[in-house]
Amino acid sequence: MTNRVTRSRQQVTQQPPELQMRARWTTGLTKIFADLMVDQVHKGNKLSNNSFNKKAWNIMCDEFYEKTGLNWDKEQLKNRFSIMRKQHAIVKSLLNQSEFHLDESTGNIIASNEAWNRYIKGHPDAEPIRGSGCPIYKQLGVIFSEPLTNGKHVQSVEHEEELPSSVFSKDPLDGIPEKELTTSISFKEPLTTIQEEESSSESEDGDDVADEQEIIQPLPVTHFTTTVMHNTTSAMDSTAAANRKRGRKGIDDAIAGAILHMAAASRLRTAAIRKVSERFSVADCIKELNAIQGLEEGVYFAALDLFDNRNAREIFLSLKGDKRMIWLRGKCTSHPIS
C-alpha cells in the first residue's frame, strides 16, 4: 500500500510546485492529520519523546496525500505536529483552572466572560482557543499520552458505562437500636399500611408520636405479653427493612433505566452527526478542488479556508462542472486571503 501510494505521488502531481511549498492548514486538515497520528500511536510507532519513528512519518505522509490530495512532506507535517503539541499544552493548562470546562461533544471551552478575560490577560496564547475551542483535544490526549479527561470536562453520557449500585446515602434508620425504634410503634393500622417517609419533618414526627402514645394502653407485664411484643417488633423490623430495600432498588432501577435511555439517545445523535459530516467531508472537497483545471492559487487556498464551513462544503459538492469554479471565484475573490 505504501509503495503504491508513494509511486502515485511521484507520478501524478495535480498541484503546481509553488503550491507544494506552502502548507495552509484548516480545521478539517488538522483533524485528518490528528487521526493519522492516533492510528500510529495504536500501532506502537510512537517514540518515548512523544514523537514518531521514521516509518510512522513516511506512512502518515502517504496516507495524508491519499486522503487529501495534498503532497506535503515530512517537515511540513512535523511543523504542524509542533504547533499541535503547543496547543495541547495550552488547553491542558486552561482546563486545570476550576472555572474552565471542556465540552467533549463540540470541543468548546466553557467559562464565563470574566474568567476568559482574566486568564487571557496573563496567558495571551489562549486567545485563539476562546473562539475556536479544541475539537481534537481527545486525539491530542492520545498522541501526547495524557488522560482523555481530568474530571472537569462536560462528559457525554455516551462514555458512561457503569454506575455504582446505589447513589444514595445510608438509610437514616440504619443502626438505630431496637429499643429506640419500638418506642413509637402504633397498632392503629395493619402492618401492611405502614409507610416509610424519610423526608418528614421533626415536628410531624413529634405529633405522630404524641398521638400514638395516647392510643397505646399499658399492658400487664407478663411472659406472654413480653413474647408477643418481641415477636411483633421483629416482624415490624423485617417488614420495614424489606420496604426500604424495595424502595431503594426501585429508585435505582428507574435512574439506571433513564441513564441508559439518555446514553442510547446520545449515541444515536452522535452517529447521525458523524454520518452527515462524512457525507460532505473536507477530503472530498479537496479531491474535487484538485480536479478543477486552471484554478488560481489565491482562489485555491481561499477555498481551503472556505471548506471549514459545512454549508459551503455541501454547496460546493452539489454543484456540477464549471459552476463550481464560478461559485468559488465569487466566494473567494470577495474575501481575499491576506
CB atoms within 10 A of CB 64: 21
Q: How much is the pLDDT for 7?
A: 40
Q: Residue 66 contacts by C-beta under 8 Å, 6 or more apart in sequence?
A: 5
The gap from C-alpha 286 to its chain's centroid, in whole angstroms, comes to 29
pLDDT at 309: 86
Torsion, Cα 161 163 165 166, to 10 degrees, reads -160
Cell triple for 216: 397505646
Count the neighbouring beta carbons within 10 Å of the beta carbon of residue 211.
12
pLDDT tens by residue, 257-275 = 888 888 888 788 777 776 6
Amino acid at 192: T
Pinpoint the alpha helices (H) of 280-321.
282-290, 297-306, 310-318
Q: Look up the pTM and report it.
A: 0.44
> How far is the C-alpha of 15 from the C-alpha of 19, rounded, in Å?
6
CA neighbours closer than 13 Å in the CB half-sphere of residue 13 = 11
CA distance 164 to 336: 56
Check residue 233 and give its pLDDT: 66
Listed as ranges, residues in the chain with pLDDT below 50 are: 1-2, 4-16, 18-20, 147-217, 219, 335-338
pLDDT at 170: 40
Residue 333 Rama label (left phi>0; alpha psi -120 to 50; beta): alpha
- Measured CA distances, 124 to 116, 129, 229 (Å): 10, 10, 76
How far apart (Å, rounded) are the C-alpha atoms in residues 154 and 109? 10
Helix (H) or strand (E) holding 102: strand 101-102
Q: Cell numbers 509511486 label which residue? A: 7
Give the up-direction half-sphere exposure of residue 53: CA atoms within 13 A in the CB hemisphere: 9
The residue among 179, 162, 176 whose CA lies nearest residue 244 is 176
pLDDT digits (tens, 9 = 90+) for 131-177: 888 999 999 999 987 544 444 444 443 343 333 433 333 443 444 44
pLDDT at 30: 93
Q: What is the pLDDT of residue 78?
A: 93
For the record, the C-alpha cell of 85 comes out as 503539541
